[in-house]
Amino acid sequence: MSQPKFEVQMLHDRVMVRIEQESGERRSTGGIVIPATVRESNRLAWGEVCGVGHHVRTVKVGDRVLFHPDDQYEVEIQGHDYLIMRERDLHAIASERPEHGTGLYL
């Protein structure tokens, strides 16, 4: 007997984010190679918004957001890992609309 499938709906001001996996090693501004095994505790991460609650005002599904991944709750859905956080825990949104941005581009 197969299990019933349920749609996941976020509540209140909650946001569900899928973390973008880093491509392994990085380079510092000075050109030093930093291996993928080195993990920085204060490093922020980019992710894609996969679900939003009814009271979320500034982000929508599909947006790329910047956040601190260690302070969030993890959940696994259909073999994929997601983070659940409040909208106020997001630090930035990457947008194609340059109306109120910093002038920096990804």
pTM of the model: 0.70
Q: How many angstroms separate the CA atoms of 56 and 101, rounded?
A: 20
Residue 4, SS3 per DSSP? coil
Mean pLDDT of the chain: 79
Check the CA dihedral 50-53-54-56 and report its sign: negative
pLDDT digits (tens, 9 = 90+) for 58-79: 999 999 999 988 878 888 888 8
